[in-house]
Amino acid sequence: MNDLRLHPSRPEESERVRTRLRLCTFVSYGPLVLPFRTLLSPLAGFTNLPFRRVVHELGGLGLGTTDLVNARGLLAGSEKTLRLIATHPIDRPFSVQIFGGEASIMRDAAQLLEARGVDSIDINMGCPVPKVVKTGAGASLMCHADAATELVKAVVEAVHVPVTVKMRLGWDASQLTAPRFAREFEQVGVAAVAIHGRTRAQGFSGTVNRDGIRQVVEAVDSIPVIANGDIRSVDDAISMYDETGCQAISIGRGALANPWIFRQLAEWESTGDWSPAGSFNDRLLLMRTQFRYLQEWVGEETAVSAFRKMSHWYTKAMRVGPALRHAVQSAKTGEEFEQVLQEIALAGPRGATKDGLLPDFEIPVPSGPNEHW
């Protein structure tokens, strides 16, 4: 099984993209050169330090970004907020994503982060959820061009580390403002922009508008545009590169379902094919490792409860039966958690072998109107 290689479903498209990417051999945020062109998207509650550590150890990750960090909470010294910006030697390069609607608060938070040694600072202009939008932050900034540009400019001018912006295509289908914003942000000095190919009104419904992302790519002169949305496999990534002309991609939920996707993409870019994602046994080991890192980070009691949502996705991907999935979710101590994992190890996956390929698995996105999330 270790010798098995997977191949693109559309070989001609794959070679066309690989040829283009070879012409831009690296992606840089100003002076910061990324080791790979594939990034981990920030996902609140998931892309924390323990997850970033295990993904870096698997290989192929160009840049990890924190959960969404409240700039005001950062300046107030909130213990919970400060925990979000914790890092580790393997977690490099390292970016912190901040949100807020006031330029002075965002500026001061950026300076605090620079003093703590972060490699890059990302400004969130894409979060669609009401509790962020109602503060004038996240995707709501895309409705206020002048204020948004002044906020971004204030952050860029306050620090020496690269500043990037993550945004959606616009507020709704009638306001696809991302190309305009990208041009203006490049002029005030941002090092890159990342685009989720949906509007705020869409939430996660429908499909990603790759043509909209291409318009952003064509709107800037020289900064990289990072494409995001609906990238669940190497084939999805190839199509995103091909249809948008982007230089890099960012993956969120696809990485939760398959933490090996960054390594796979590095292999594909180098050779044209790639090794499979982890087996049942590989995922069980990774699950134990991530939980151990979480214990080191927040302590056993908090780790047990905090890991429940992640263990749910691990065990679903591993084809674990419902009773054992429920048992791992119900564990109250680290000892109980390990006991259940031992039972899972003995039982193995349903309909597959412990060392063989597992069926593809997708993590669902929030459904319904944004206001109900």
Do the Cβ atoms of 101 and 154 come closer than 8 Å?
Answer: no
Question: Where do we find the tokens 């860029």?
Answer: 156
Listed residue (228, 145, 216, 220) closest to 190, CA to CA: 220
Q: Which one of the listed residues 24, 127, 143, 246 is annotated catalytic?
A: 127
For the question of residue 24 being annotated catalytic, the response is: no
* Positions of E strands within the chain: 27-29, 32-34, 38-40, 63-70, 94-99, 120-125, 163-168, 192-196, 225-228, 248-251
Spell out the residues 6+ positions from residue 109 whose beta carbon is closer than 8 angstroms to its own.
69, 71, 72, 74, 75, 98, 100
Please calculate the CA angle 251-126-130 and round it to the nearest 5 degrees: 120
Going by C-alpha positions, the residue among 149, 142, 137, 162 that lies closest to residue 212 is 142
Terminal CA-to-CA distance of the chain, rounded, Å?
Answer: 41
How many Å apart are CA 28 and CA 40, to the nearest integer? Answer: 16
Strand 32-34 vs strand 27-29: parallel, antiparallel, or unpaired? antiparallel
Residue 114 DSSP SS3: helix
Residues 232 and 364 sit within 8 Å (Cβ to Cβ): no
Alpha-carbon distances, residue 341 vs 311, 320, 356 (angstroms): 10, 10, 19
Residues annotated catalytic, as ranges: 127
